[in-house]
Amino acid sequence: MSVLDSKIPVGPIDKKWSDHKNHIRLVNPANKRNIDIIVVGTGLAGGAASASLAELGYNVKAFCFQDSPRRAHSIAAQGGINAAKNYQGDGDSIFRLFYDTIKGGDYRSREANVHRLAEVSVNIIDQCVAQGVPFAREYGGLLDNRSFGGAQVSRTFYAKGQTGQQLLLGAYSAMSRQIGKGKIKMYSRHEMQNLVIVDGKARGIIARNIVTGKLERFSAHAVVIASGGYGNVFFLSTNAMGSNVTAAWRIHRKGAFFANPCYTQIHPTCIPVSGEHQSKLTLMSESLRNDGRIWVPKNLEDAEAIRKGTMKATDLKEEDRDYYLERRYPAFGNLVPRDVASRAAKERCDAGFGVNATGEAVYLDFATSIERYGREKAMTSNLANASQETILELGREVVKAKYGNLFQMYYKIVDDNPYDMPMMIYPAVHYTMGGVWVDYNLMTTIPGCYATGEANFSDHGANRLGASALMQGLADGYFVLPYTIADYLADDIRTGTISTELPEFSAAENEIQERNSSLLSIQGAKTVDHFHRRLGKVMWDKVGMSRDEEGLKWAIAEIQKIRAEFYSNVRIPGIADEFNPELDKANRVADFLELGELMAIDALNRTESCGGHFREESQTPDGEAKRNDSDFAYVAAWEYSGNVSEPTLHKEELVFENIKLVERNYK
């Protein structure tokens, strides 16, 4: 019906991927040597893709804006990675992981993609262990698992609270091996600025050398965008300072559709904002919810006293506390999915029960767990008559062994000891499920241009489950893209090296040159951050955890205003041909100023509530999200029309053949 062809293979769901792999075209090893591939981004998706593609024999040119590929923000993922290994024998299977992911995504993702993800999840663990990733192990020497983010099975593999770091360093080491062999040419401190399209195919990029400021041309037979998510549109998020949408947005402006931009994940357990100066937010792993209980005072007076500082959390009696997640969702309690937990926190704080000076924080309390673990430990240590003091001491030790690094991090940032006082947490922007639209082969609507990992939209629907982002990044990079890209490249074995002297390269470079000089020539009165902050506030207030028509319309107008002001009053010091971080930032913020509007437009269009997208107009009487499957079981893919404010909507209908659409219920 539409211009969108998702290219989902026919056949039963559990055969689609293997059949597809068996039937797509291959490129023989000798020909691979003549094919260049550009990979933008070196996180789990980009790093893994670069390593795999180079391993297969392609010439890879990898780009990252950081000073080393190892710094990509995948490194900050804490909790773990899911895989349907069923090592614990608790009934896990590929189907269950597939089902949980579809359900967790509130039935807004593609069945075929998610099933493939669940299938290859098991290879990821094998691969990573072979690479030397030091996953947590049990005393018997086998891999340990934990349950995570509301899953009813223990399928999450982890390395303390630094799983992302270990996986990324694994991918980085695989990359390093290929860099050493010369199969990957690494361009660190290079930021992609433009896509070069020759005869309708992606054939290269223009990148800014961040050290010299010079624009450089790079050609290839295919371009892979693995540049991560766009959470920084909110200014404050758990993303890295440099995380940006620029690569994805620039290909969008060249014809790649942008799908479901309004699906953003607000993570419930982050350290609350402490003041105006705040530059970013820090996540406290979701794993803390396994042992922490979330509450606010039951009475408004108590909440007020706590905010004023005249009362402490520990002063409050048990019966004066409202464990609101346990109250509202008895079945899942503190382990409800992220979107549900976040909205519940916002609801309590909006009602005036917030517990820090800003009124935007709830407690995450470990007292119960400390005591419970202390008793267990006392029993196993033959201390039947241990004093309360000893029990608490033992309990603290157990908690320290599990979450020591997180507790320390909290202590360093907040300067408050979480072993004695409950932590304060508040939701913060964490992940963006939306992204560049891709087909089953991960190709965007531009031939030869691919998108992987968080940069694409494909696997998480309207809400991502915990420990699934790492899985998707590595799956796309190691095991999906390297196969599917061959199908496209099979046509390019005779093309030969693409010249960067082609007029298309000059045009793309000039476009950026002019853009940079016009930005620099504004010389207004306000810094880039000033505009970014303002945009972030609009996004957080109106396009954040809950949205309504009025707010979204207001946001659209407001973003347009900020954007206009940006282009007339921004002040960027320095020149283009030098190390100029402010210019880099200005380019990123300029793209956010366009993306923000598209997110609001998308949110406005989707009048249902689903996953991370909550429309106030669409809720059940008791305040839960209400989906509208008859009207909105589709992917909203937006095409750039030449005018940012008037994008064209294309719909990809979501067909559910294997899973029945039901209301998500965590009660």
Partner 1 sequence: MKLTLKIWRQKGPNDKGQMVTYPVDNISGDMSFLEMLDVLNEQLIETGDSPIAFDHDCREGICGSCSLYINGEAHGPDRAVTTCQLHMRKFHDGETIYIEPWRAKAFPVIKDLVVDRSAFDRIMAAGGFISVNTSGNTIDANTIPIPKQDADAAFEAATCIGCGACVATCKNSSAMLFVSAKVSQLSLLPQGKVEAKERVLNMVNRMDEEGFGNCTNTGACEVECPKEISLENIARMNREYFKAALSAE
Binders in 100-129 for partner 1, by CB under 8 A: 120, 123-129
Which of 408, 499, 518, 620: binder of partner 1 (CB under 8 A)? 408
Helix ranges, 351-480 (H): 367-380, 388-414, 469-474
Q: Could you give the 3-state DSSP secondary structure of residue 555?
A: helix
* Order of all β-strands in the sheet with 648-653: 435-436, 258-259, 634-639, 648-653
Instruction: Determine the Cα angle at 608 with ends 542 and 342, to 5°.
Output: 55
What are phi and psi for residue 637, nearest 5 degrees? -110, 120
Q: Quickly tell me which residue has 């990509």 as its tokens.
A: 72
Residue number, 137 or 327, with CB nearest to partner 1: 137
452 near 225, Cβ under 8 Å? yes
Structure tokens at 44: 């789990």
Q: Collapsing DSSP states into helix, strand and coil, what is residue 603? A: helix
Instruction: Give counts: helices (H), strands (E), the chain.
Output: 19, 19
Q: Which is nearer to partner 1, 171 or 378 (CB)?
A: 171
| Tokens read off for 57 | 């024999």
Question: Please, what is the Cα angle at 415 between 413 and 420, to 5 degrees?
Answer: 120
Please identify, using beta-carbon distances, which residue of 77 and 455 lies nearer to partner 1. Answer: 77
Selected binder of partner 1 within 7, 177, 553, 626 (CB under 8 A): 177
Candidate ranges 108-116, 365-373, 504-512, 523-531; the one touching partner 1 (CB under 8 A): 523-531
Q: Which member of 174, 399, 449, 637 binds partner 1 (CB under 8 A)?
A: 174
Rule CB under 8 A: say whether 586 interacts with partner 1.
no
| CA nearest neighbour of 515 among 558, 596, 570 | 570
For partner 1, the closer CB: 579 or 656: 579
* Cβ closest to partner 1, residue 129 vs residue 659: 129
> How many residues in total does the chain contain?
667
Instruction: Out of 199, 318, 415, 657, point to the residue binding partner 1 (CB under 8 A).
Output: 415
Q: Which of 446, 28, 66, 435 is nearest to 262 (CA)?
A: 435
Residues contacting partner 1: total by CB under 8 A: 85
CB 14 to partner 1: min, Å:
18
d(CA 582, CA 569): 14
159 binding partner 1? (CB under 8 A) = yes
Stretch 60-79 residues interacting with partner 1 (CB under 8 A):
66-73, 75-76
**Closest by alpha carbon to 644, among 568, 603, 592?**
592
Between the CA atoms of 94, 95, 101 and 106, what dihedral angle is there, to the nearest 10 degrees?
A: 170
Indicate whether 140 belongs to the interface with partner 1 (CB under 8 A).
yes
Which pairing describes strands 215-219 and 201-209: parallel, antiparallel, or unpaired? Answer: antiparallel
Candidate segments 132-140, 316-324, 369-377, 497-505, binder of partner 1 by CB under 8 A: 132-140
Is residue 577 a contact point for partner 1 (CB under 8 A)?
A: no
The answer to whether residues 396 and 371 touch, using CB atoms and an 8 Å cutoff, is no
Rg (CA), the chain: 25
- Contact indicator for 155, 98 with CB cutoff of 8 Å: no
Give CA–CA dist 50/88, Å, rounded: 33
Q: Smallest distance, Å, CB 176 to partner 1? A: 4
Helix, strand and coil content of the chain, in percent to the nearest 5, comes to 45, 15, 40
Binding string, residues 203-242; x marks residues near partner 1 by CB under 8 A:
--------x--------------------------x-xxx
Does position 187 interact with partner 1 (CB under 8 A)? The reply is no
Nearest-angstrom CA–CA distance, 149 and 667: 15
525 near partner 1, rule: CB under 8 A: yes
478: its two tokens: 């190691």
Q: Which of 101, 113, 156, 165 binds partner 1 (CB under 8 A)?
A: 165
Specify the stretch interacting with partner 1 by CB under 8 A; choose among 154-162, 342-350, 593-601, 659-667: 154-162
Does 132 help bind partner 1 (rule: CB under 8 A)?
yes
571 is an interface residue for partner 1 by CB under 8 A: yes
CA distance 263 to 104: 13
Interaction between residue 455 and partner 1 (CB under 8 A): no
CB proximity list for 199: less than 8 A, separation 6 or greater: none
The contact mask relative to partner 1 for 253-292 (x = CB under 8 A, - = no) is: ---------------------xx-xxxx-xx---------
Binding-site member from 26, 136, 198, 649 for partner 1 (CB under 8 A): 136
Judged by beta carbon, residue 408 or residue 620, the one nearer partner 1 is 408
**Residue 418 in contact with partner 1, rule: CB under 8 A:** no
- The reply to whether 176 sits near partner 1 by the rule CB under 8 A is yes
Judged by CB under 8 A, which stretch of 169-177, 507-515, 536-544, 636-644 contacts partner 1? Answer: 169-177
CA distance 661 to 604: 23
**Identified binder of partner 1 from the candidate list 51, 215, 247, 644, rule CB under 8 A:** 51
Q: Does 401 bind partner 1 (CB under 8 A)?
A: no
The residue among 131 and 628 lying less far from partner 1, judged by its C-beta, is: 131
188 binds partner 1 (CB under 8 A): yes
Check residue 416 for interaction with partner 1 (CB under 8 A): no
- Residue number, 230 or 263, with CB nearest to partner 1: 230
Q: Which is nearer to partner 1, 308 or 660 (CB)?
A: 308
* Subset of residues 301 to 360 that bind partner 1, contact rule: CB under 8 A: none
Residue 418 vs 482, nearer CB to partner 1: 482
Q: Provide the pairing of β-strand 59-63 with 36-40.
A: parallel
- To partner 1, the closest distance from the beta carbon of 228 in angstroms equals 12
